[in-house]
Chain A
Amino acid sequence: MPALDLARWQFAVTTVYHFLFVPLTIGLAFLVAGMQTAWVRTGAARWLRLTRFYGKLFLINIAMGVVTGIVQEFQFGMNWSAYSRFVGDVFGAPLAIEALLAFFLESTFIGLWIFGWDRLPRRVHLATIWLVAIGTALSTYVILAANSWMQHPVGYRYNPARGRAELTDFWAVLTNKVTLVAFPHTLAGCFLTAGALVLAVALWHLLRRPGPALPAAGGGLPAVADDRLAYRAAARLGAWTTVLSGVALAVTGDLSGKVMTEVQPMKMAAAEALYHTAQPASFSVFTIGSLDGSRELYALTVPRLLSFLGTGDLGGRVQGIDDLQAQYAATYGPGSYTPAIPVTYWSFRLMITLGILAGLIALWALWGLRGGRTPSSRWLLRTALVLPVLPLAGNGVGWVFTEMGRQPWLVFGQLRTAAGVSPGVSAASVLTSFVVFTLLYGALAVVEARLLLRSARAGLPDESTPDDPAADEPAAAFAY
């Protein structure tokens, strides 16, 4: 395999892997901050216990996000040096600002949060987790601005003498219309992921021992009852978060579709495998047959839906792949401008399906939790176990769609992927790093998942443990 393909595979594997941890981190940062706020405001011990419990899951997860994130930044220079030279003037600034503005904030205040429980006044300590959460959101915005520039370059001009794109309007880069829709969409995906995890873990604890607490016998009862109250509160928080972010995903996804149709019509056509321009255009829920457009054995279609998704008008015109290919060939010269259609077609559908499923399960859980009830369905328990995986996979395929739909461009209309790879790095070197990262990431996924499950299963920390009089560093117990 040539260095180009290996570098692409490596980028795909390391990025999708990195993005398993990122959304959970971002969403959980806000939810844990919310739980801690509830404790500070109400003084209810169960919110503190929930903060500690989900805080631990958050920390296990953020560690993976942090360490796999460095790879992302180095990889541009290591594997894509030609790309880096071409875009650095535009793309570098958001990256540097992300580090300066967001990463310092996150990393410094996460340290203060972990170790500061007994060192900082209660409200100052609460502020640290909020600053972490704000840092993650800032980071999301800036990095999406960088990515959106690759989808829809704005605020730059091409400098032929240097053979590169140069920044002319940073504000335009920050307010790129793709960024403006991608940011809320991605953030909603983060909340969906975190909400689903919070809900699933709480449901598991609630349903594993169904029925009301045992009749009063010994001192165990109040603790058990309080545990159930806490898990109920977490389940409701998680379910509402999941449902609301599901709705937000649908709305922002719809907005994204319209922007995409406008600035990257080929991506929209590839999402539907729409070969011939259609007015109105229907949306196929799924297709059995070949995707090259020649044979279609069976397709379940919703008339006019694609027109609506793409243009906001039930009778809108959506351009087809063949027409766009001809247009691009005329503009950019001969060559293929069509992405890998099976990948874009199915990843688009899978993304939507997984999001909808997560939202429906959360609705089911909310129904079970209504009016002080505790659900007891074994089916809900079984479903809860797969629930956290759905948004994780949904985020991944969503990015696969976004990036594969951009191909063959690295920067749309400006730089092809094939032209971005490092010319001086041999295929053997890239193969080495690809194998190393894949094996390492695989092993670490097992370690992380086991630790996460172990910590989730352990349940709420015991709040009745008296403070050890010999203790100088109670915080160390939480962290190290």
Chain B
Amino acid sequence: MITTWFVLIAGLWTGYFILEGFDFGVGVLLPVLGRDERERQVLLTTIGPVWDGNEVWVITAAGATFAAFPDWYAGLFSAFYLPLLAILVALILRGLALEYRGKRPDPPWRRRWDRAIVAGSLVPALGWGLVFADLAHGLPLSTGHEYRAGPLGLLTLAGILGGLALLGLCATHGALFLALKTTGAPRVRAAALAARVGWPTTGLTVALLVALVDARSGRAAVATVVLAVLVVVVALALTGALLANRAGREGWAFAGTALGIAATVATVFAALYPEVLPATNLPVGLTVSGAAASPYALKIMSWAAALFAPLVLLYQGWTYWVFRRRIGVSGARLAERPSGTPGAAGTLGGSAQLAELRELRLHLRELAA
């Protein structure tokens, strides 16, 4: 039961980094790939309907950790106090920016929120990368599993490289997402950028994972094999993604970075197990069983997860299906109108076929161009 919950929490973080990973990527790349206001609207509209739902994965991951491993939650969140503060501030600014930027038409207003989107996506990617690299590397802990070495002790080489690796992963993943979801110039630029950022990111991520896994000795042979396989999967998935991108197979490319991110998170969690807070100064840090909630609490949580998680996956999946269409520059043009004067929704009932026609026309126009 305890191990199951460890795996479930790893799964929640995996979901978070796959989903919010491309949100962060889109945010970071906003000024790079969106050359004018219309293009930036296109980029933001790709994540508009889904970013909030994606962010709930981290809230659920934190909540599940609190419930299933209270000591882990307490130790982890108090140890990374200042990085988490930076992440929180960034997420606040980013969320508001995404929702508020379109509420006023004037360019200065939008420019300011654009900056918030970039910073608000950059900082969490760096921050979470630092947190997980430091975590896998281990921290000096007191016997009560409290970290007391101060904020500067968190700025390790592993942490900094971890931040850069996750930022690179998000940027690549986000660029491939945009290549998959847009049309025209942003699509072309996104694919080109994914190739440029993707290769160094793959190298850095794989090297860092090898170093983190290698740094800790005394593992069982099985664990070493599993970790080696996972790192190979990371390397293959990311390489495959970039090759697919080169071949213009955008769907496969995006699936490749998604798998690469999943395998990266899996490697970090597998490297931790059976600890959840490894200590650099103690023979054993905080372990899964030392951090776990009581069997009854875990049972309640398991029921809740079994009942509600499939439902969540179902309706979140449905959202992606509803908004599956690519978005083009002419598509986002209506947003030029002052908001609050939407198209007459009364006429929208029979507009499905009309929309299909428009889509078709759009494609033709693109082919002609």
Interface residues of A (CB under 8 A from B): 45, 48, 52-53, 56, 59-60, 63-64, 66-71, 73-74, 76-79, 81-82, 84-85, 87-93, 95-101, 103-105, 107-112, 114-122, 159, 164, 166-168, 170, 422-426, 429, 432-433, 436, 440, 444, 447, 451, 454-455, 458, 461-468, 470-480
Contacts and interface: CB of A to CB of B under 8 A. Distances in A.
A330 B305 CA distance: 44
B335 A85 contact: no
Interface stretch (B171-179, B213-221, B242-250, B314-322): B314-322
9 contacts: A63-B96, A81-B74, A97-B301, A97-B308, A103-B60, A117-B342, A458-B340, A473-B45, A478-B342
B49 interface: yes
B252 interface: no
A472 B351 CA distance: 10
B319 to A, nearest CB: 6
Interface in B54-96: 55-56, 58-60, 62-64, 66-71, 73-79, 81-82, 84-85, 88-89, 91-92, 95-96
Closest 7 A/B residue pairs (Cβ): A88-B70, A77-B77, A92-B67, A474-B343, A472-B331, A96-B63, A424-B146
B48 A73 contact: no
A16 to B, nearest CB: 16
A322 to B, nearest CB: 37
A85 B71 contact: yes
Contacts of A159: 294
A458 B323 CA distance: 30
A52 B64 CA distance: 36
A50 to B, nearest CB: 12
A135 to B, nearest CB: 10
Nearest to A71: B88
Interface stretch (B97-105, B222-230, B261-269): B97-105
Contact of A48 (B64, B67, B345): B345
A59 B362 CA distance: 31
Contacts of B200: none
A56 B347 CA distance: 20
Contact of A81 (B63, B78, B89, B335): B78
Contact of B70 (A74, A85, A116): A85
B89 A436 contact: yes
Contacts of A107: 52-53, 55-56
Contact of A93 (B150, B304, B347): B304
Nearest to A480: B102
Contacts of A436: 85, 89
B65 to A, nearest CB: 8
Contact of A480 (B79, B101, B319): B101
B85 A432 contact: yes
B339 A478 contact: yes
A73 B315 contact: no
Contacts of B296: 166-168
Helix, strand, loop or mixed for chain A's interface? helix
Which size bracket describes the interface of B in this complex?
35 or more
Interface in B135-189: 142, 144, 146-148, 150-151
A444 B92 contact: yes
Given A472-B328, A477-B334, 12 more contacts: A56-B103, A67-B95, A74-B88, A82-B74, A95-B67, A103-B60, A111-B51, A118-B345, A462-B341, A465-B341, A467-B348, A477-B342
B341 A93 contact: no
B49 A112 contact: yes
A419 to B, nearest CB: 13
Contacts of B101: 480
A58 to B, nearest CB: 11
A451 B104 contact: yes
A76 B77 CA distance: 8
Contacts of B346: 45, 48, 463
A164 B81 contact: no
Given A170-B300, A465-B343, A474-B334, A88 B99 contact: no
A76 B148 contact: no
A108 B71 CA distance: 30
Given A77-B74, A77-B77, A108-B316, A477 B343 contact: yes
Contacts of A48: 345-346
A312 to B, nearest CB: 35
A114 B48 contact: yes
Interface in B342-366: 342-349, 351, 355, 358-359, 362
Contact of B49 (A79, A101, A105, A111): A111
